[in-house]
Structure 1
């Protein structure tokens, strides 16, 4: 399993990986864009439940590649480590030896050239089955530009396409819809989801391990999108209730149920008590009109604060 997780230091991340590992019997995991390094990275890795580790540390909060495996299932030897690629020799239970390169290409065009050099050097001496997997941060053709409104290929696409051709690499392709969808927003997993009490159950209910990988991912994405909208809606309702609770200044009712109507009514009543809607003039007539009420109030206080004004209503 390979995943661009866009950070591994979020609360609940270690538990999520352990749950996925146990649920789907994952024995080899590649994490990209880990965004942490040093002792902090070591602490997170120790919690993930793998006894085989090879990694490229992030630079600041950029990049990072972790290859994690169970030594009972895989015999792994590190061949080469660079800033953007980690190359391993791997042998599984069937005894077949092959080469794995986990890649996270720099998002900066000027730095990506060293990755192309690394791959070309590996290809020149390659005499075993070779798999390159990861995130190159570039596409090779227009067909891969899903969700982009630009009619031009991104910078570096030509060099990437040439690399694939020169090194005799084969794109394994994908299963799913093709062609750009300009109105569709890309799916992004939010780190805040990991701390939500119902996220784990949503993950289990929307993942179907019997389907092909891309179909399972698609189902999971759609399910999480719907769940996220429900969570946000409940959050809005909660904030609305707290707002009216604060405005109502109620001291005795403990919020928690849907008491928004009560809080709103309390606020309206309190504000009405502070308003003057009717006054009686000097002739005993009751005045309701706003303009006349303003004139009465102004006249009264003018008389009250003048030397001759001694009368009271």
Structure 2
């Protein structure tokens, strides 16, 4: 089983959609997490159907920012435990193997929202007794020279 996670920075571009389709085929992905889709659920639903992903959970963008899309194939069992604008917390199992917790994240880009985000993630761990994996984009950089765009505040 392969999980594909991508900060797509918008799914409205045909080249982005083609790159996503190619990646799904190349890696034979069973679960896909897209952060920052910037699209409403109807658009993403049509896209998912074209890629043969019929199970999904979607968190709409707020205005033109954000949007989280988690979709999975039929051999995977995903239970959504909690979702907010920056994460989807789930329990996943494949072929009746032991389940694990997986939190798919797209961290806030604004400095004043980061502490609350990390506190939310920390509280999730306190409840989880199974294996736990975090996948996505935390929007955290260690040094200013790692940042290519946007504000230099980290």
Q: TM-score, normalised by structure 2?
A: 0.83
CA separation in 2, counterparts of 1:61 and 1:119?
24
Give the number of the structure whose residues are more often helix, by fraction.
Answer: 1
CA separation in 1, counterparts of 2:137 and 2:15?
24
Q: Is the 8 A contact 1:15 1:48 kept in 2?
A: no
- Cα 1:102–1:145, aligned 2, differ >3 Å: closer, same or farther? farther
Where does residue 6 of structure 1 map in the other structure?
Answer: 9
Could you tell me which runs of 5 or more consecutive residues in structure 1 were left unpaired when the two chains were aligned.
156-313
Kindly report which structure 2 residues correspond to 1:43-62, keeping only aligned pairs within 5 A, or say none. 43-62=46-65
Q: Is the 8 A contact 1:14 1:47 kept in 2?
A: no
Where does residue 87 of structure 1 map in the other structure?
Answer: 89
1:71 is aligned to 2:71: no
1:24 pairs with one of 23, 27, 50? 27
Aligned residue pairs total: 148
Kindly report which structure 2 residues correspond to 1:129-278, keeping only aligned pairs within 5 A, or say none. 129-139=131-141, 141-142=142-143, 145-146=145-146, 154-155=153-154
Alpha-carbon shift at residue 22 of structure 1 (Å): 2.5
After TM superposition, the runs of 4+ consecutive aligned structure 1 residues lying more than 6 A away are: none
CA separation in 2, counterparts of 1:81 and 1:147?
28
Structure with greater contact order relative to length (CA < 8 Å, sep ≥ 6):
2
CA separation in 1, counterparts of 2:26 and 2:122?
38
Q: Secondary structure at the match of 1:20?
A: helix
Alpha-carbon shift at residue 75 of structure 1 (Å): 0.9
Give the number of the structure whose residues are more often strand, by fraction.
Answer: 2
Q: Secondary structure at the match of 2:11?
A: coil
Alpha-carbon shift at residue 128 of structure 1 (Å): 0.7
Where does residue 39 of structure 2 map in the other structure?
Answer: 36
Q: Secondary structure at the match of 1:79?
A: strand
Deviation digits for residues 34-90 of structure 1 (CA, Å, limit 9, x no counterpart): 111232332333323212211221112211111111122x11100001111101100
Where does residue 269 of structure 1 map in the other structure?
Answer: none
Q: Is the 8 A contact 1:8 1:44 kept in 2?
A: no
Q: Is the 8 A contact 1:138 1:154 kept in 2?
A: no
CA separation in 1, counterparts of 2:11 and 2:147?
26
Deviation digits for residues 206-228 of structure 1 (CA, Å, limit 9, x no counterpart): xxxxxxxxxxxxxxxxxxxxxxx
Bigger Rg, which one: 1
Deviation digits for residues 234-283 of structure 1 (CA, Å, limit 9, x no counterpart): xxxxxxxxxxxxxxxxxxxxxxxxxxxxxxxxxxxxxxxxxxxxxxxxxx
> What's the Cα RMSD here?
2.2
